[in-house]
Amino acid sequence: MKRPLAYIAGTGRGLPAGVMTNHDFAALGIETTHDWIVERSGIHERRIARDGESTCSMAVEAARKAMDRASVTPGEVDAIILSTASPDRLLPSTAVDVQAALGATRAAAFDLSAACSGWLYGLTVAEGLLTAGSAETVVVIGSEKMSAILDWTDRSTCVLFGDGAGAAVVKRAKQHRGILSSFLRSDGTLADLLHRPHGGARTPLSEQVLRDRTHFVKMAGREVFKYAVRSMAEAADRALDGARLTGQDIDLLIPHQANVRIIEATAKHANIPIEKVFINVDRYGNTSSATIPIALDEAIESGRVHEGSTVLFVTFGAGFTWASMVVRF
């Protein structure tokens, strides 16, 4: 397949106004400290949705900004792909609520579930729709209200995540700009290391589930860290090989923003100096599939990504899933 076939025409982000610092956990009775959180994750603060802010409302804000920057009207959108692990409701998809709010009356809309890797999975699906001729303009969104699915008595998880959304408009490539390579993988045998055990169709919500708090995110932190480092290293290699590039050819690495130590290990493996890595986990925490599109939008806004830039995306998430992509802007 000759690439590039699809390019990112515009980006946007939607973030809650509420900021929760590491020091705020004391008011919740959680035994932790600012230094403990920073040492293990690099996180100083995160955004938390409040006052009616939802996965849909954040997604809509991000999508509108991306569409404005791409000079795309709602009527021109052919498809909306929403990556989320925290849908506003289980039926129908949150994507159709986004479609209605945007007024994108011609668009097909659906949710995609691949946890933190979902936005890169979504970009790859969008590229496929464009290549098949099924769409001309696709909006790919990562939107997460992680605060709604966290156990706020479990310091091993609640200190790590935040809320937010990022979006991109994807169109047919032109002038050698666009997606140069992509790589997707998963390993379901490791699913129980990062999951929500109950609350789905197999074990529906019940008084017992609520008492046991098993409808919230559970994570085996050390094991997840180990597999994340290994998988993101593989993903970086595969995307670079697919684009016939090396780390020296990359202008900016935008990794999944889960943990600064994982980010540093990934950059070192790819032979990319830390000065060429975009990091905002300190301000937002882990917003799951929204981390990379939020970071990309900030990188473009700050001038770190511009016309001619070659960017490597790498991510890892529950499933386990992992993914990477090289994009020329």
Whether the CB-CB separation of 121 and 114 falls below 8 Å is answered with: yes
What is the pLDDT at residue 195? 97
Query: Domains in the chain, start-ordered, CATH in brackets?
Result: 6-176 (3.40.47.10), 179-328 (3.40.47.10)
Beta bridge partners of 316: 322
Phi then psi for residue 313, to 5 deg, are -105, 135
- Enclosing H/E stretch for 186: strand 178-186
What is the pLDDT at residue 159? 97
Residues with catalytic roles:
116, 256, 286
Residue closest to 169 by CA, chosen among 257, 300, 57: 300
What is the pLDDT at residue 176? 84
What is the pLDDT at residue 1? 57
Other CB atoms within 10 Å distance of the CB of residue 204? 10
pLDDT per residue as tens, the chain (329 positions): 578 999 999 999 999 999 999 999 999 999 999 999 999 999 999 999 998 999 999 999 999 999 999 999 999 999 999 999 999 999 999 999 999 999 999 999 999 999 999 999 999 999 999 999 999 999 999 999 999 999 999 999 999 999 999 999 999 997 789 999 999 999 999 999 999 999 999 999 999 999 999 999 999 999 999 999 999 999 999 999 999 999 999 999 999 999 999 999 999 999 999 999 999 999 999 999 999 999 999 999 999 999 999 999 999 999 999 999 999 99
Q: Residue 92: is the preceding peptide bond cis (ω within 30°)? A: yes
**Could you give the residue ranges of the DSSP H alpha helices within 244-309?**
260-269, 281-284, 291-301
What is the pLDDT at residue 3? 81
CA distance 8 to 6: 7
What is the pLDDT at residue 175? 79
pTM reported for the whole predicted model:
0.97
